[in-house]
Each structure stands twice: as structure tokens, then as C-alpha cells.
Amino acid sequence: MCGITGYTGNKRAAPILLDGLKKLEYRGYDSAGIAVRGPSGKVTVVKAKGRLKSLVEKTDDGRTVPGTCGIGHTRWATHGEPSESNAHPHYNDEKTLFGVHNGIIENYADLHRKLTNAGYSFYSQTDTEVAIKLIDYYFKKCNDPLEALISFMLRVRGSYALAVMFDEYPDEIFVARKDSPMIIGVGEGETFLASDVPAILRYTRDVYYIDNMEIARLQKGRAEFYDLDKNVLQKERVHIDWNEEAA
Ligand code: GLU
């Protein structure tokens, strides 16, 4: 169970994603990756096996990856060996949907079979690629990211902290959670996502906690929460008083 970071705002996302992943290194991992949407709308994915340092070097500390909205991940392999193709982010065939996941999809073999019958093929051994392609399958049916995520949550068994970017919603990150931690930080015109507080402390101390079986829609400086009936949830923003030295 490793790390997720996310950012949407007006600053360059990649250095913020990598900085957050460094703060989550204590959780352990075997590979890392980021996906960032550039100014043209196209998403760049960079992955590296092994230490986060390799990803940092590959991207010149994020400087070579343009864009202000992205997601980052450190993986602790549960399905498929540690490798670059199994590292997250994962994506659909058209590369229009990108996602990172911490946790385990227990019924992934069954879902893999169903998606294969529906015409999907797979480039990795991960349960996460199956999860992303299941969301893709639902999104193509309903064209609504919230509904696609709800269908996904009703269909899968297991645990997940999940962050997804859709081409159709260029500055947004959609988040779903079950039995895997995740917090959302909101600053002036920017929103942060992380598995744990230290990853975002440098940027904001105003956070929301996303609960089990909830969805969050992150926009620049704004987070909205939904239940599985698509009702908007009213959440309190919490100000964290966190002493970094003591942590
Ligand atoms: N089960 C996923 C995988 O093996 C995610 C593991 C994690 O939590 O990092 O890729």
C-alpha cells in the first residue's frame, strides 16, 4: 500500500507530484510514475522501476514534463512483478483515460475475462489496468465520469485509493476510495491529493478527508464530494496543525 499524489492548479504539476512522492517514500515501493496533461491537452506518462530517484532523474525533477494537472504513484506490486510496464499510471487503449491505484482488486480475474470478451486487451499483469479499463468500459457507455466511477465501485471487490484523469475533463481529477487512505488539500486556485498529510503540508494545511465509498471531483481550488447515489456531500474543511518535527 504505497503512495498517490495529485495536483490541479496553475503551477507546473510534475515537480509537485514528485515532491509529494518523496514525502511518501517511507511507505515503501518498487517503482514510480507520473501522468501530466500538457498545454496541448495531451498527457505525458513517465515511469521508472526502482528508486524514485530514477524518475526524478528521467524528468529532470519534473522540469521536462509540462502541464498543470497530473497524478503520481509509487507502487508496491501485488499483481505482476515490479517493472516499468506494470508501474502506474495505467491507461485505456486510446490514451484518453489515465489512473493510479493503491490497493487490491480482488475480483480482477473475473473482470479481466469479462473485459477480454468485450474486446479489451491488456499490456500489463496488474489488477489496476483491469480497474482502469473497467472504468473506461463504463465511461464509454454513459459518458459521465461520476456514473462510470459509481458503476466501477459497485462492481469491484477489494480496496482502492484511485485517482483518474479523463481527456474530456482536462483540468480535473476524479477520486474514489475504499479501505485505502487519501486526503485532499485545497489552496488558492489549486487542489492537492495525497495518501498522507506530509505530502501536501508544504502547500496547504486545509484538507478534506474522503471517506469509504465516496467520490471526489477535484478542480483548481475546489473539491466536490459525492455518494454512490450521486448526491453531493457537504464536508467540513479541516485545518491541520501538524508539527513536521514531531511527525
Ligand atoms: N495492486 C496494484 C498493483 O499491483 C497496486 C499496488 C499498490 O498499492 O501500489 O499494481
Average pLDDT over residues 73-102: 98
C-alpha 201 – ligand 1 centre gap (Å): 25
C-alpha 128 – ligand 1 centre gap (Å): 7
**Other Cβ atoms within 10 Å of 188 Cβ, number:** 9
Provide the pLDDT confidence category of residue 242 given band limits of 50, 70 and 90.
confident
Instruction: Name the CA dihedral angle for 108, 109, 114, 117, rounded to a multiple of 10 degrees.
Output: 130
With 70 as the cut, is the pLDDT of residue 244 above it?
no
- Of all atoms in ligand 1, which is nearest to the CA of residue 1? 8
- Of all atoms in ligand 1, which is nearest to the CA of residue 77? 4
Residues with CB under 6 A from ligand 1: 1-2, 75-80, 101-104, 126-128
Provide the pLDDT confidence category of residue 247 given band limits of 50, 70 and 90.
low
Give me the pLDDT at residue 88, please: 98
C-alpha 38 – ligand 1 centre gap (Å): 26
6 HSE (CA, 13 A, CB side): 35
Average pLDDT over residues 176-203: 96
Distance in angstroms (rounded) separating the CA atoms of residues 210 and 225: 8
With 60 as the cut, is the pLDDT of residue 78 above it?
yes
- Of all atoms in ligand 1, which is nearest to the CA of residue 75? 9
With 70 as the cut, is the pLDDT of residue 246 above it?
no
Report yes or no on whether pTM surpasses 0.95. Answer: yes
The set of cell numbers assigned to 238 is 479541516
Average pLDDT over residues 168-188: 97
Provide the pLDDT confidence category of residue 241 given band limits of 50, 70 and 90.
confident
Outline where the chain has alpha helix (H): 13-23, 52-58, 108-117, 127-142, 145-155
Provide the pLDDT confidence category of residue 161 given band limits of 50, 70 and 90.
very high
- Of all atoms in ligand 1, which is nearest to the CA of residue 103? 8
C-alpha 3 – ligand 1 centre gap (Å): 10
Least confident residue range of 85-89, 137-141, 242-246: 242-246
C-alpha 171 – ligand 1 centre gap (Å): 25
Provide the pLDDT confidence category of residue 172 given band limits of 50, 70 and 90.
very high
Provide the pLDDT confidence category of residue 1 given band limits of 50, 70 and 90.
low
150 in Cβ contact with 215 (< 8 Å): yes
Ordered DSSP codes for 174-234 = EEEEESS--EEEEETTEEEEESSGGGTTTT-SEEEE--TTEEEEEETTEEEEE-TT-PEEP
Least confident residue range of 24-28, 68-72, 120-124: 24-28
